[in-house]
């Protein structure tokens, strides 16, 4: 079907069954798809946002308020839709919070670009304006933001709590508890590198165990291993543990090839077995000589070796995953060794307690009460798997927000305040820029207002009045006003305590505008063999209000 004409001659360049949409139609289609997706998750924004129940082909249910999760579960097929979903994924990966905001802003930017296209403003002018506006917005963010550091625990807790705001994880006190745990975890793991703090989120593990309820969630200053103590004769609990991390098998290596040993007398057999036993015994002796009373082995531990370790009162676990070995090393300060030759006290790690405990029916080894662990575990509890999963997502957001705040060292006011502040600056900036581009910058400013507008709507306020009041307050000078969704009114966000990391906002603007620019630049959609290129299947196109 796709054909190009030159001098009246038809040339087919695409295979039969391909689908092609060109120019304006291509842009419009992509915009409509992106907007539809954003509309679908818009109602979840903020603490008063609604949850979505997602049911997959197998009938499994996920109940969540998390933008990234909803989009993932929606299995979006349309290529432009997938690009929008990417925003959420990037946001989730880079900062771990602000996913809904990023997608909603992208949707609004797309909607505004239709209006601009309708006024015959060229896509490249819109792209230029949006790019310019993003740059300016980020400058404004840094200008307005306030400083925050690892020592500001109270502020960080507030920020963690706000980021969990929209997830149903129980009452306000539960959120406070989780916020405390998260801040403790993140500040504990934070390390200062060249005067800046970095947090490796891989070293904050969440271990989910059904049972009890969310309020029983706790921070383990160390690591929980999904392992048993290897031998029943070993102690199940050791205080003031000295831990050896060994990447070496406590086994006699079996010959690679089919070796044969000729044994001609019973004596020979005994001495052969004795020999094996002696090697293993020596290995155990070396471990014990180093002072270790706990051994975590990445490889196997032979029965004989287990027996000797037990006899020496050593607690041991075998076949510990490499990733857990790394976490143990970070938590206890132990060095992972692959030879026992010079194993010494300096290689050993320390933990206040190593103990095998049964939790939700599973035996697990707790390595806890470490002194200055750079790897910690949050033991997440909850009555049902749905509750635990949502708690995990809430904690992930809070970890993201806290990490973002510590790494950038800056926060801003939420509840739509920062978006209003940026919008007001952008309007002034647009006039300075002038020309047609100013229209795109103005459109960008209006698009940002989607955040306070949606928040106002979520708590039953009149959104037009709310935006008018906020514009008024932000017009002349820097103001701390945003939407207090609990009181359903415009309020001072500093007083209400709605603060968010600059990093979350910055990333949201960057990824939203990046994808919008990319979509606007497309003027040709070529889909092979009739793949979807029209409307997204089964989903409303979203009423462009
Ligand atoms: P996201 O996935 O974008 O983080 P959320 O559903 O977590 O989406 O909503 C975040 C928005 O809700 C932010 O704009 C934030 O400032 C706002 N928010 C959070 N808590 C409050 C609150 N107590 N009052 C007003 N706005 C809030
Ligand atoms: Mg959030």
- How far are the Cα atoms of 279, 304, 465, 496 from residue 470, in angstroms, in the given order? 77, 75, 9, 16
Residue 448 CB–ligand 1 contact under 6 Å: no
492 given a catalytic annotation: no
Query: Which residues are within 5 Å of ligand 2 (an ion), measured at CB?
Result: 97, 163
Digitized pLDDT (tens) for each residue of the chain, 545 residues in all? 444 566 667 666 667 777 777 777 778 888 888 898 888 889 889 888 877 787 777 778 877 777 778 888 777 778 788 888 888 888 888 888 888 999 999 999 999 999 999 999 999 999 999 999 999 999 999 999 999 999 999 999 999 999 887 676 666 678 889 999 999 999 999 999 988 899 999 999 999 999 888 999 999 999 999 999 999 999 999 999 999 999 999 998 766 666 676 777 777 777 777 888 899 999 999 999 999 999 999 999 999 999 999 999 999 999 999 999 999 999 999 999 999 998 999 999 999 999 999 998 899 999 999 999 999 999 999 988 888 988 998 999 899 999 999 999 999 999 999 999 999 999 999 999 999 999 999 999 999 999 999 999 999 999 999 999 999 999 988 999 999 999 999 999 999 999 999 999 999 999 999 999 988 887 766 666 655 444 443 334 444 44
Which pLDDT does position 285 carry in this prediction?
Answer: 94
User: Can you state the angle between helices 172-189 and 153-164, rounded to 10 degrees?
Assistant: 120
Contact partners, residue 432, CB within 8 Å, separation at least 6: none
Under DSSP, the state recorded for 63 is E
State if residue 164 touches ligand 1 by the CB under 6 angstroms criterion: no
Please pick, among 66, 97, 152, 347, the residue that the annotation labels catalytic: 66
| Cα 510 to averaged position of ligand 1 atoms, centre (Å) | 18
Q: Domains plus CATH for the chain?
A: 19-147+412-527 (1.10.560.10), 223-372 (3.50.7.10)
Select from 94, 75, 97 the least CA-distant residue to 85.
Answer: 75
Which residue, chain included where needed, has tokens 């009423």?
543
Is the CB of 314 within 6 Å of ligand 1?
A: no
What's the pLDDT score for residue 24? 75
CB-based contact 276:304 (threshold 8 Å): yes
What DSSP character marks residue 312?
A: T
Q: What pLDDT, on a 0 to 100 scale, did the predictor assign at position 268? A: 77
Ligand 1 pocket residue status of 284, Cβ below 6 Å: no
Which CA distances in Å does 494 have to 241, 403, 500?
A: 46, 21, 11
Tell me whether strands 336-337 and 237-246 are parallel, antiparallel or unpaired: parallel
Nearest Cα residue to 92 out of 72, 68, 124, 75: 68
For ligand 1, atom 26, which residue shows the shortest CA distance?
415
| Residue among 104, 399, 498, 505 whose CB has most ligand 1 atoms within 8 A, to mutate | 498
Are 336 and 245 in contact, with CB atoms under 8 Å apart? yes
User: Which atom of ligand 1 is closest in space to residue 97's alpha carbon?
Assistant: 4
At 231 the pLDDT is 95
92 is catalytic: no
Check if 400 has its Cβ closer than 6 Å to any atom of ligand 1. Answer: no
Q: What would you report as the CA-atom Rg of the chain, rounded to the nearest whole angstrom?
A: 30
Instruction: Please tell me the distance from the alpha carbon of residue 363 to that of residue 164, in angstroms, as a whole number.
Output: 31
345 is catalytic: no
| Burial (Cβ within 10 Å: 0-12, 13-18, ≥19) of residue 176 | middle
The per-residue DSSP string of 205-224 comes to EEEEEEBS-GGG-EEESSEE
Give the side-chain half-sphere CA count within 13 A for 352.
Answer: 9
Q: Does residue 483's CB lie within 6 angstroms of at least one atom of ligand 1? A: yes
Torsional sign, CA 426, 401, 161, 46: positive
Question: What pLDDT does residue 419 have?
Answer: 97
Give the mutation target among 52, 108, 141, 165 for probing the ligand 1 site: most ligand atoms within 8 A of CB.
Answer: 165
Q: Residue 191 has which token pair?
A: 């390390």
Task: From the CA of 417, give the closest atom in ligand 1.
Answer: 16
406 alpha carbon – ligand 1 mean position (Å): 19
Q: What is the pLDDT of residue 524?
A: 66
**Phi-psi sector, 460: left (phi>0), alpha (psi -120 to 50), beta:** left
Residues 6+ apart with CB under 8 A from 81: 33, 34, 36, 37, 536
């Amino acid at each position: 079907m796709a054909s190009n004409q030159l001098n009246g001659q038809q040339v087919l360049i695409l295979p039969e069954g391909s689908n092609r949409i060109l120019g304006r139609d291509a842009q419009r289609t992509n915009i409509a798809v992106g907007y539809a997706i954003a509309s679908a998750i818009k109602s979840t924004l903020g603490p008063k946002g609604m949850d979505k129940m997602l049911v997959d082909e197998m009938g499994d249910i996920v109940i969540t308020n998390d933008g990234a999760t909803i989009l993932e579960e929606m299995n979006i097929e349309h290529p432009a839709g997938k690009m929008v979903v990417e925003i959420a994924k990037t946001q989730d990966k880079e900062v771990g919070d602000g996913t809904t905001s990023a997608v909603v802003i992208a949707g609004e930017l797309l909607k505004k670009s239709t209006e601009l296209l309708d006024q015959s403003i060229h896509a490249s002018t819109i792209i230029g304006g949006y790019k310019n506006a993003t740059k300016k917005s980020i400058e404004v963010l840094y200008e307005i933001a306030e400083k925050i550091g690892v020592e500001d625990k109270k502020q960080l807790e507030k920020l963690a709590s706000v980021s969990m705001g929209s997830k149903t994880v129980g009452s306000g006190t539960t959120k406070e508890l989780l916020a405390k745990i998260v801040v403790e975890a993140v500040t504990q793991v934070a390390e200062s590198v060249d005067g800046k703090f970095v947090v490796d989120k891989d070293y904050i593990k969440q271990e989910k165990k059904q049972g009890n309820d969310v309020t029983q969630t706790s921070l383990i200053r160390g690591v929980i291993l999904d392992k048993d103590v290897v031998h029943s004769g070993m102690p199940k609990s050791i205080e003031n543990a000295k831990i050896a991390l060994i990447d070496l098998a406590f086994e006699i290596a079996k010959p690679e090839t089919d070796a044969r040993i000729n044994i001609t007398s019973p004596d020979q057999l005994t001495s052969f077995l004795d020999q094996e036993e002696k090697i293993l015994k020596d290995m155990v002796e070396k471990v014990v000589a180093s002072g270790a009373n706990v051994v975590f082995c990445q490889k196997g531990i032979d029965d004989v070796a287990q027996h000797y370790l037990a006899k020496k009162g050593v607690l041991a676990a075998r076949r510990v995953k490499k990733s857990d070995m790394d976490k143990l090393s970070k938590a206890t300060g132990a060095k992972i060794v692959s030879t026992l030759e010079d194993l010494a006290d300096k290689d050993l790690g320390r933990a206040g307690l190593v103990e095998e405990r049964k939790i939700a029916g599973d035996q697990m080894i707790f390595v806890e009460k470490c002194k200055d662990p750079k790897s910690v575990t949050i033991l997440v509890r909850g009555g049902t798997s749905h509750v635990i999963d949502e708690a995990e997502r809430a904690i992930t957001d809070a970890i993201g927000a806290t990490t973002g705040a510590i790494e950038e060292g800056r926060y801003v006011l939420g509840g739509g305040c920062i978006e209003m502040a940026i919008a007001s600056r952008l309007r002034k900036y647009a006039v300075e820029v002038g020309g047609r581009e100013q229209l795109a910058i103005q459109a960008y400013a209006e698009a940002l207002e989607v955040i306070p507008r949606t928040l106002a709507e979520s708590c039953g306020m009149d959104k037009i009045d709310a935006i008018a009041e906020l514009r008024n307050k932000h017009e002349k000078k820097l103001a701390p006003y945003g939407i207090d969704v609990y009181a359903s009114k415009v309020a001072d966000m500093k007083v209400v305590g709605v603060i968010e990391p600059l990093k979350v906002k910055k990333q949201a603007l960057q990824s939203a505008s990046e994808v919008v620019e990319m979509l606007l630049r497309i003027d040709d959609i070529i889909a092979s063999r009739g793949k979807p290129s029209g409307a997204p299947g089964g989903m409303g196109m979203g009423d462009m209000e």
